[in-house]
Chain A
Amino acid sequence: KQEVTQIPAALSVPEGENLVLNCSFTDSAIYNLQWFRQDPGKGLTSLLLIQSSQREQTSGRLNASLDKSSGRSTLYIAASQPGDSATYLCAVRPSGTGGFKTIFGAGTRLFVKA
């Protein structure tokens, strides 16, 4: 059964710091991995999607990598800002279930101090 784990559960950093959020998954048979941001009381916003054949994706200050063989992904945030404070979730779409079911991690709660 696919499981997704995110470490750390919470992180507090000063503004301007570069940081890395980690995601691991137990089964490498995936269609893709997606990183989301969730603000308190709101829905999830898609940040980056990495297809199973890709190694990384970049958007602005965000860079996500994928190592399928080791079951790991990282989300790198450069020059963090207070507006980056949110919960970040990673999710994998297993290829064995017809692609319908997306499995989510519990998230990393990030706080960027001004």
Chain B
Amino acid sequence: DVKVTQSSRYLVKRTGEKVFLECVQDMDHENMFWYRQDPGLGLRLIYFSYDVKMKEKGDIPEGYSVSREKKERFSLILESASTNQTSMYLCASSLRAWDSGNTIYFGEGSWLTVV
């Protein structure tokens, strides 16, 4: 089975701190994604990566950056955390973009509270 692992399940950070959320997948997937999920707003794509060192902005990239130095690892960085970034963050991965049989797999999520 594909496994997407988010290293931190629950974090509490102070406003202005730099926050790193780590995600690792074990199936040699090309594509990796970061979403945030908020009540009433659903899942929103922050950033995605289709290859090592490649990244693309999603729908809500402001206040975030990402890093993909190795194929299996995709990091989300909050440069200066703010209270409106309190949310559930979900990492996902998939094998290829253009394969219609391509399933997207999710990690367990990281709950971030910024105080």
Tell me the A residues contacting B by CB distance below 8 Å. 31-32, 34, 36, 41-46, 49, 51-53, 89, 91, 93, 98-102, 104-107
B21 to chain A, nearest CB (A): 13
Q: Are A101 and B102 in contact (CB under 8 A)?
A: no
Asked if A102 meets B104 with Cβ closer than 8 Å, knowing A43-B90, A44-B90, A107-B42, the reply is: yes
How many residues of B are in contact with the other chain, CB < 8 A?
A: 30
Given A34-B103, A100-B50; 11 other pairs, CB 8 A cutoff = A36-B106, A41-B111, A42-B109, A43-B4, A43-B109, A51-B100, A53-B100, A89-B43, A99-B96, A105-B42, A106-B40
Give the nearest-CB partner of A54 in chain B: B100
Residues of A within 8 A of B48 (CB): 100-101
Of B40, B99, B100, B109, most buried by chain A (CB within 10 Å of CB) is: B100
Contacts of A52 in B (CB 8 A): 100
A100 touches B109 (CB 8 A): no
Q: Is the CB of B97 within 8 A of A32?
A: no
Task: Tell me the bound Cα distance from A34 to B102 in angstroms.
Answer: 10
Q: Which residues of B contact A (CB under 8 A)?
A: 4, 6, 31, 33, 40, 42-43, 45, 48, 50, 56, 58, 88, 90, 92, 96-109, 111
- B101 and A46 within 8 A (CB): no
Output the least CB separation between A98 and chain B (Å): 6
- Do A32 and B100 touch across chains, with their CB atoms under 8 A apart? yes
In whole Å, how far is B95's beta carbon from the nearest beta carbon of chain A? 11
24 A-B pairs with C-beta separation under 8 A: A31-B98, A31-B99, A32-B101, A34-B103, A36-B106, A41-B88, A43-B90, A43-B108, A43-B109, A45-B106, A51-B101, A52-B100, A93-B102, A93-B104, A98-B98, A99-B102, A100-B97, A101-B58, A102-B45, A102-B104, A104-B43, A105-B42, A106-B40, A107-B42
